[in-house]
Amino acid sequence: MQAEETKLKGCFILQPKIFKDGRGNFFESFNQKNFEEIIGGKINFVQDNQSFSSYGTVRGLHFQIGEFAQAKLVRVITGKVLDVAVDIRKGSDTYGQWIAVELSEENNKQLFIPRGFAHGFSVLSQTAVFSYKCDNYYNKPSEGGIIFNDKTLNIDWGIPVDKAIVSDKDLVLPSLNP
């Protein structure tokens, strides 16, 4: 597996080695030992989540705080999304900066997002199945978020704003710096 650290310290884009033949393809999507070598530390994923969404869906930006903060390893099983991570670590040199990575069933890329980041994605294909591993359990009282169209962040979600499908809950999230 190839790995590239992004401009946000601790965020990595991972590209598995894909073996193709006349039957299709095969790749190892996760290997604990190799993954820990890439990120330079131990991690214990305890929860896997999956969502199905249609074109224009924007999920996020979400995070968990305190003892329930989560690191995530995300990938697309079918379709294509624009995956976004925002550094919300107070005191970080890249606080308030974000990255966007296209994840798809064609490129098989994955993104590792460490604790201390907000995360979201938009669906660029007709539909998408999105999968993520978390290193901590979901805890409703610890959840937080940032409005997807935060004017300071100015994230280009890769879809027209008038086509964005956003949950009622996500539409009332605050700005990063209210």
Is residue 8 a part of any domain in this protein?
no
d(CA 80, CA 2): 20
- pLDDT for residue 178: 63
Neighbours of 159 (CB within 10 A): 17
Asked if residue 59 is part of any domain, the answer here is yes
Question: Does the residue 91 lie in any domain?
Answer: yes
Tell whether 104 is covered by a domain: yes
The residue from 95, 132, 137, 138 that is catalytic is 132
CA atoms within 13 A on the CB side of 32: 6
Residue 64 inside a domain? The answer is yes
| Spatial separation of the C-alpha atoms in residues 89 and 71, rounded to whole Å | 13
Q: pLDDT at position 46, please? A: 97
The active-site residue out of 62, 119, 137, 138 is 62
Is residue 72 a part of any domain in this protein? yes
CATH of the domain at 104: 2.60.120.10
Task: For 106, list phi and psi in degrees, rounded to 5.
Answer: -80, -45
What pLDDT does 91 receive? Answer: 93
User: Across the strands, what pairs with 110?
Assistant: 14, 75
Which helix (H) or strand (E) segment holds residue 30: the answer is: none
Band (pLDDT 50/70/90 cuts) for residue 25 is confident
pLDDT for the residue numbered 1? 85
How do residues 116-143 score in pLDDT, each as one tens digit? 999 999 999 999 999 999 999 999 999 9
Tell me if 11 is assigned to some domain.
no
Task: Give 28's pLDDT tier (boundaries 50, 70, 90).
Answer: confident
* DSSP string for residues in 68-124: G---EEEEEEESEEEEEEEE--TT-TTTT-EEEEEEETTT--EEEE-TTEEEEEEE-
Cis check for the bond before 61: say yes or no (omega within 30 of 0): yes
Q: What is the mean pLDDT of residues 45-51?
A: 97
Query: Residues with Cβ < 8 Å from 59, sequence gap 6 or more?
Result: 51, 53, 120, 121, 122, 130, 167, 170
pLDDT digits (tens, 9 = 90+) for 155-165: 999 999 899 99
- What mean pLDDT value characterizes the chain? 96
Domain count, the chain: 1
Range of the domain at 129: 44-171
Known catalytic residue at 62 = yes
